[in-house]
Structure 1
Amino acid sequence: MKPIERLGLGLLHRLDPERAHGLALKALRAGLVPLPGRITSPRLQTVLAGLDLPNPVGLAAGFDKNAEALGPLSRAGFGFVEVGAATPRPQPGNPKPRLFRLTEDRAAINRFGFNNDGMETIARRLADRPRDMVLGLNLGANKDSADRAEDFARVLALCGPHLDFATVNVSSPNTEALRDLQGAAALRALLKGVTDTRAWLKRPIPVFLKIAPDLSDNEIEDIAEVALSSGIDAIIATNTTLSRGGLHNPAKGETGGLSGAPLFERSTRVLARLSAATDGKLPLIGVGGISSAEDAYAKICAGASAVQLYTALIYHGLSLAADIAHGLERLLDRDGHANVAAAVGTKRKEWL
């Protein structure tokens, strides 16, 4: 982390977390944040669900909910970027405060509730996207929707022409009963609606499914079976957790989803179980608690073809993406792997 980035983070941490997040986005759009540009090498280049990635380090949804900073993010060192979540209609989300830093735990709790500008506004921004980035959108459903499954399809139909991939998010804990859609029957029906909509796009794109970390082994098996038979292209494991074990910050009792370092072990075990359940037939993206190249490499060795991060940026700055990519290069070289794909799942048994 450069001194100017350390100074900026120190100032932001004196502010309310949500206000600090908004200012960070403004600084990024204004060109005040140093950006490394594209980071790649033959060893880092990888293919994810047919997408050619310069490196396997992605930005998770939630950082740029409304697709407002696509230009800068395309130069921030990420191999791929996911924005959103977007819902059909704009919605304000849950009442503030709804974002909490847990500094001692290197974590955060949020209960945003899919606050966003709505699919029409977001689609206009996506249409002006840089073409030299791999860009995805997290699909969401309105809180008061009478048919949440239809909401996902509607957002995909409008925004899909401007995307490289789309993610079906049924794992946010902050929209009532949304996680119920992870049940086998509901999930199968939901994914059919989304994949049918995808088939009507002029340029069909990969569809990913994002799952929760708070799943039993039987639920993981059910999701794996549905995913393999539904025509989706990858699974993102995982979203935030409702667990609060081992936390120290006084905000640990706040309602919402916990992300950051405490999620690492739980999410990696779910990832490994999912890798075993799908037997390598479906690429997985590892998310949850990544704050170093070693963390990212552990996810890859547990079964992930690529990784995503977000919460660690609060504590390490945007330069973390480049640091992790360069660190991964060294770790892959150390272990004699010619590329990312060669390392995928090589230490899965350690997490089962």
Structure 2
Amino acid sequence: MYPLFFRTVLSRLDPEFAHHAAMAVIRLAGVPPFSWAARGLTRPAPHQRTDKLGLSFPSPFGIAAGFDKNVVGVKGLAALGFGHVEIGTVTAIPQPGNPTPRLFRLIPDRAVVNRMGFNNEGAEAAARRLAKLRRRNRDVIVGVNIGKSRVVDVADATADYVRSATLLAPLADYLVVNVSSPNTPGLRGLQAVETLRPLLSAVKDAAVHAPLLVKIAPDLPDDEIVAIAQLAVDLELAGIIATNTTISREGLTTDPAVVAAAGEGGLSGAPLKERSLAVLRVVRAAVPDGFCVVSVGGVETAADVQERLDAGADLVQGYTAFLYRGPFWGRQLNRGLAGR
């Protein structure tokens, strides 16, 4: 049913407009009595509960950052069966992001190209909404992904991240430093160990009791991935999220003219699967057993989730497949995992 609806209706809509329309429905799913019905259909099996980061996740699978940038759909996403929701990326200073159009579907590849540019309402607005959510609902696990404000020079990035961490860490179940988006100029340069060490140290101090993770790009060479993993362990971070979107366009089956028309930006979805899995294995081999590794990129099915868990992931996330699989994607995953 949903694939037909996607082909005949959603695929004809502007992708960003379609996302906002879908978010309106998701928000409704988080309001009783709709939330009661949704949870009854999508609830993970008890044996899927996963203990990590000092938290008890209803399921090892959650929604990656980028889907809910402004803390507006958390309750709805939880009602649809996702074990956690990572909001953001949030910046200290509100920003509109890059000019539109900035989101493009590559349907034959079940992929998306985005150059959103951290469009969000800022850390203060996110903190207000999180505080309200916490007063009314404490059972949803919410991670907060923070990034550099575009107007802030790279040389001043640490203070910018610390400002966001100070506002948001007290309200977050865990905090993520995003230095790997390809859509903010100079951001990926912060992944160099010599610049990353002082940044992560300062944010860790500001985060206080919130478990801190760092999110890395799939385009790094393996030796640099190992160096970042070792740095994260040395700084006693809680974990690594691998990976963000890729700037690669290799192996796509979509018409090259369509890919070229989409232009620059991060590619997510099915084409990222193999590299994301490879990076997971590199990270897992470089860190101790208790260190949390979150795998994201190209995950579509329960078999994909299980493959990541078998490869050493503690938690798994997705986003792009929601577009292609529909609102009961979480239910499909939970039923598939329950049977495994």
TM-score, structure 2 as length reference: 0.91
What is the letter of the counterpart of residue 140 of structure 1? G
Q: What residue in structure 2 maps to residue 211 of structure 1?
A: 216
**Unmatched runs of 5 consecutive residues or more in structure 1:** 332-352
- Name 1:65's counterpart in structure 2: 69
In structure 1, the partner of 2:259 is: 252
For 1:234, the equivalent position in structure 2 comes to: 239
CA 1:89–1:279: 2 relative to 1, 3 Å: same
Pairs within 5 Å for 1:133-152: 133-146=140-153, 147-152=156-161
Tell me the equivalent position of 2:39: 36
1:109-143 deviation digits (Å, cap 9, x = unpaired): 00011010111111111112121110011101111
Q: Which residue of 2 aligns with 1:90?
A: 94
One-letter code of the match for 1:43? H
Is 1:132–2:139 an aligned residue pair? yes
Query: Equivalents in 1 of 2:264, 2:273: separation in Å?
Result: 20
Within 1, Cα distance between the matches of 2:6 and 2:270?
22
- Whether 1:53 aligns to 2:50 is no
- Offset of residue 10 of structure 1: 4.4
Per the alignment, residue 328 of structure 2 pairs with 319
| Contact persistence 2:177–2:214 (CA under 8 A) | yes
RMSD: 1.8
Aligned-partner residue type, residue 48 of structure 1: K
1: CA distance, partners of 2:99 / 2:315: 34
Q: CA deviation at 1:6?
A: 5.5
Range with greater deviation from structure 2 (248-257 or 49-58): 248-257
| CA distance in structure 1 between the aligned counterparts of 2:264 and 2:295, rounded to whole angstroms | 24
CA separation of 1:109 and 1:45: change in aligned 2, threshold 3 A = same
* Distance in structure 1 (CA, Å) of the matches to 2:142 and 2:215: 16
Match of 2:205 among 172, 190, 196: 196
| 1:25 corresponds to which of 20, 23, 26 | 23
Pair 305,10 (structure 1): closer, same or farther in 2 beyond 3 Å? farther
Q: Which runs of 5+ in 2 are unaligned?
A: none
The one-letter amino acid of 1:144's match is V
Q: Distance in 1 between matches of 2:82 and 2:284?
A: 24
On the 8 A contact 2:84/2:142 being kept in 1, the answer is: yes
Structure 2 SS opposite 1:36 = helix
Contact 2:75 2:140 in 1 (8 A): no
Cα distance change of structure 1 residues 23 and 231 upon mapping to structure 2, 3 Å threshold:
same
Q: How far 1:280 sits from its partner (Å)?
A: 2.5
3-state SS of paired residue (1:246): coil
What is residue 83 of structure 2 aligned with on the other side? 79
Would you say how many aligned residue pairs link Structure 1 and Structure 2? 325
